[in-house]
Each structure stands twice: as C-alpha cells, then as structure tokens.
C-alpha cells in the first residue's frame, strides 16, 4: 500500500487534481442539490458500534460466502458507467483488481469494456448489470453473451426509470467522447496526464453495445439512440421473463421499498442490492443504510440483502454489515483509486479497505463478518 494515500479521501483529492472537471463532476456528483448523495455517507457515520473487550478472541476473518462462492472480503466493485471517460482503461484495471483480490466485479451495460474482454480478465468470474433494453431481442442477445462468457450472477437495474436531473452534467454537456466545448478543452489542457493517457488508449466507446450501435452516428444521434434503446423501467413481467431464461443467480439492484422487495422475491430472485444509484436519481430518497436496516429486518433469510451507496471506508463497511447487509459494493471509491494512481489504484483501494475493516473488527472483538450485527450499539 502506498503510504502517500492511506485513505479514500486522500485518493479522491488526488483524483480531483488529475481529472478534467467534467470527468470529476460525473464521478463525484449527484442529482439536484446532492442531498441524497451526502446523506448516504452521513447516515452510515451516524451509526455507532459497540466493542467487546474482555471475552476470548481468536482473530478476525474477512472471508464471506455469497451465492455459494467464497470471497476474500465482504465487499466488491460496483458497476459504473462511462468508466474510461474518467480514466482510460479503468474498467479493465478494476476487473483485474477484483480477480487478484478474489472479490466480485460487476460490469455495467453502459461502461467502456465489453462482456468478453472482462470475462477474459476475470476468467469468467464477474457479475453483469443489465440496463433493460426496450427491445426484448437485444435483451436476449446480451443475456446470451453474458452466459456464454461464464457470468454466474446477473444484476437487473431497477432505480433508473428515468434519467436523473444532474446539473453538473448538464452544464458540462457530458457525452462519450466528451464534447469539445471551450470549457472542456481548457479542462483537458490543464490535466496532461489524463489527456495523454486518453490519447494512447483511444476514444472511449460503449464496448458491450458497439455491435448494436449504427456506425457513423453523431454525438447528438448517439444520445438519441441510447435514450430510445434503454427505456429503463423494470417491471414484474420483465423480471419474470428474465428469471425464466437466466439459469444463474439473479439480483435486483436499486430496491429500497418493502413493497418492491416483496414483489421481487415473489418472482424468484436470489438477492436484492439496496441502492439509490449513488444519490444520482432521487434527491429526497432514503439513505441506503436506513433502507438496508429496514429491508434486512423484514426479508433477511428469504433473500440475500446486499448494499451499495455511501461507503468510503472500512468502518463504513462494518456499519453496513452490522445494519443487516450481507455483502456491500463500492463504485466511487475504486474509481478514485484508479484516477489517482492509474493501474495501481484499484489495489490501493482494496488494501485500504481490507486493513481498515480488519482493524475495526479486531477493535470490536468480532471474529467473522456475520457477527457484526451483534456489535450494533
């Protein structure tokens, strides 16, 4: 671990110094006034844990099993769209990080590495998050490709029925590749490491979707194509149709409502990721840790309860697990690592989180992650 950046906060600051403003805004920003973005973390940090100092203690193990697969740690790398816009080859870097450290990597439909490329890096040990297409035939093609690549866990995205209103992205004219406004050109010129890395890596593309995107589209028409292709809303009938054909684990991401959770369970899903899309969709929504505590109390044991959103440290992971999550995912933190340190950044983030979580568990006198709820104050 590089001692210059021993926390996610320091990596985030270094990333900000190396990225053009439009790319950093996309990574770090939320919707509207960013209330929910900040509440995700502040609500986690309002939770207290209680240590046990005097009983016999035999050390802490971070090993965790989910869906019959044992991982080295109880956290994984969440799906993030447009990753190479933020740092070139960041998707591939993080897939390699996950494989090296034996944690799950979730590939987004709308990121910049293909299903097949990530399958090769991870030896098929990856999860795939599906943005549901408007066209069922495209859905079926993507599912077949994921299955053929060895993917065992499919994640269906529920929390983007419409695009979030994100003022920073509107101001920046966000697109892939970025629009060549004077503002964006100036930002790129002031971040030479990012610019030269992009030059050598090539223009980022929606790699998984490339076979289905008509050639020669302008950026305006590419945006219209994407809006038409992915209508976003996940329904009971759509979940059931996918459940009928997907033979692996099926997880719904973006559940915060007990009514939605009950409906999802009735369709035969294996897990729920409690998430609000990183505070990028509904600014007045509930924080993920509060929703996790509620849903775990009602549904844990019937379905796996996982959590995503607001986690920036090993202490945050401990709180999420103590609050009822059985596994957690982080999106921004691994990206901050790569944007700060390049190819070594993913390893840096995992090592930080591992050391922090290990220290918290040892301080609590907690031997396994399954015991963390006992330490909720």
- Which CATH number fits the domain that encloses residue 181? 3.20.20.70
Range of the domain at 316: 8-375
**Residue ranges of the alpha helices (H) in the chain?**
8-18, 21-28, 35-45, 83-86, 90-101, 115-122, 136-148, 167-172, 182-189, 192-201, 219-229, 236-245, 258-266, 288-299, 314-322, 332-341, 345-364
Two tokens, residue 16: 């900000």
Residue 1 belongs to a domain? no
**Catalytic residue selected from 101, 132, 277, 375:** 277
- What is the rounded CA–CA span in Å between residue 108 and residue 128? 6
Residues 89-114: tens digit of each pLDDT: 999 999 999 999 999 999 999 999 99
Closest CA to 67 of 153, 177, 182, 170: 153
Contact 77, 105 (CB under 8 A): yes
Q: How do strand 271-274 and strand 304-308 relate by DSSP bridges?
A: parallel
Two tokens, residue 112: 């910049």
Three-state DSSP class for residue 291: helix
Residue 259 belongs to a domain? yes
pLDDT band at 312, cuts 50/70/90? very high
pLDDT band at 189, cuts 50/70/90? confident
pTM value is 0.94
Assess whether 277 carries a catalytic annotation.
yes
Three-state DSSP class for residue 77: strand
Residues 146-179: tens digit of each pLDDT: 999 999 999 999 999 888 899 988 888 765 555 6
Residue 2 belongs to a domain? no
Residue 296 belongs to a domain? yes
Two tokens, residue 262: 């009950």
| Res. 122: pLDDT tops 90 | yes
Total domain count, the chain: 1
Residue 211 belongs to a domain? yes
- What is the rounded CA–CA span in Å between residue 11 and residue 123? 29
* Residue 300 per-residue DSSP state: B
Residues 56-81: tens digit of each pLDDT: 999 999 999 999 999 999 999 999 99
Residues 7-51: tens digit of each pLDDT: 999 999 999 999 999 999 999 999 999 999 999 999 999 999 999
Residue 352 belongs to a domain? yes
């Amino acid at each position: 671990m590089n001692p210059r950046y021993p926390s996610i906060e320091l990596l985030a600051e270094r990333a900000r110094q190396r990225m053009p403003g439009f790319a950093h805004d996309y990574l770090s920003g939320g919707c509207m006034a960013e209330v929910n973005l900040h509440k995700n973390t502040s609500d986690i940090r309002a939770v207290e844990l209680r240590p046990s100092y005097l009983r016999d203690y035999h050390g802490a193990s971070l090993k965790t099993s989910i869906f019959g697969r044992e991982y080295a740690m109880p956290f994984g790398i969440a799906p993030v769209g447009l990753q190479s816009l933020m740092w070139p080859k960041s998707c591939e870097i993080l897939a390699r990080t996950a494989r090296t450290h034996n944690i799950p990597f979730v590939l987004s439909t709308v990121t910049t590495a293909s299903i097949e490329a990530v399958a090769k890096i991870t030896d098929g040990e990856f999860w795939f998050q599906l943005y549901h297409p408007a066209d069922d035939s495209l859905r079926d093609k993507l599912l077949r490709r994921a299955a053929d690549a060895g993917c065992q866990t499919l994640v269906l995205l529920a929390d983007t029925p419409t695009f979030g209103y994100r003022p920073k992205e509107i101001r920046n004219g966000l697109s892939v590749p970025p629009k060549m406004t004077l503002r964006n050109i100036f930002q790129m010129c002031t971040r030479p490491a990012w610019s030269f890395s992009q030059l050598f890596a090539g223009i980022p593309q929606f790699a998984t979707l490339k076979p289905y995107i008509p050639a020669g589209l302008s950026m305006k028409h590419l945006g219209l194509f994407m809006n038409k292709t992915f209508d976003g809303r996940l329904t009971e009938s759509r979940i059931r149709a996918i459940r009928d054909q997907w033979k692996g684990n099926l997880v719904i991401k973006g559940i915060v409502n007990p009514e939605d959770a009950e409906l999802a369970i009735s369709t035969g899903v294996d897990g729920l990721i409690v998430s609000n899309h990183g505070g990028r969709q509904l600014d007045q929504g509930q924080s993920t840790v509060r929703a996790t505590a509620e849903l775990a109390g009602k549904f844990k044991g019937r379905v796996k309860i996982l959590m995503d959103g607001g986690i920036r440290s090993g202490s945050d992971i401990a709180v999420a697990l103590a609050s009822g999550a059985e596994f957690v995912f982080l999106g921004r933190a691994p990206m901050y690592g790569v944007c700060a340190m390049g190819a070594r950044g993913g390893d840096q983030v995992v090592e930080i989180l591992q050391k922090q979580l290990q220290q918290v568990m040892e301080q609590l006198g907690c031997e396994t992650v399954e015991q963390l709820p006992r330490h909720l104050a």
